[in-house]
């Protein structure tokens, strides 16, 4: 899987920022892998800042899925739906 970039997640209910790796991204949302447990559940609001080799993209979204993907070293995958879709031009930053 080619490297798509990193992401910073900010939840309204928590002061801490969570750093993750972009697993996938589409016009309507993204999947972020976080190397820790996160204080999130489906339906929560989130601000996600996507960092690629280009300018960072910031989007408000809604958590749609939280899945524990590894228990030995806690890793979580978060599925996020953007409130406003990415443009086709912005998608070029991810090689899509």
Domains and CATH numbers, the chain: 6-94 (2.40.10.220)
If pLDDT is split at 50, 70 and 90, which confidence band does 14 have? confident
Which residue stretches of 2-61 are H helix? none
Contact by Cβ (8 Å): 67, 76: yes
Mean pLDDT of 57-68: 93
Tokens of 32: 């972020």
CA distance 90 to 96: 9
Which residue stretches of the chain are H helix? 88-91
If pLDDT is split at 50, 70 and 90, which confidence band does 95 have? low
Mean pLDDT of 53-63: 89
Is a pLDDT exceeding 60 seen at residue 1? no
Return the H-helix or E-strand segment holding 61: strand 57-70
CA distance 28 to 87: 9
């Amino acid at each position: 899987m080619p490297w798509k970039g990193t992401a910073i997640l900010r939840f309204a209910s928590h002061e801490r920022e969570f750093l993750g790796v972009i697993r996938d991204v589409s016009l309507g949302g993204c999947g972020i892998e976080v190397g820790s447990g996160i204080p999130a559940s489906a339906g929560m609001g989130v601000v996600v800042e996507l960092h690629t080799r280009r300018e960072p993209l910031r989007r408000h979204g809604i958590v749609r899925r939280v899945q524990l993907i590894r228990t030995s070293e806690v890793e979580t995958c978060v599925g996020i739906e953007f409130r406003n879709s990415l443009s086709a031009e912005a998608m070029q930053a991810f090689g899509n």
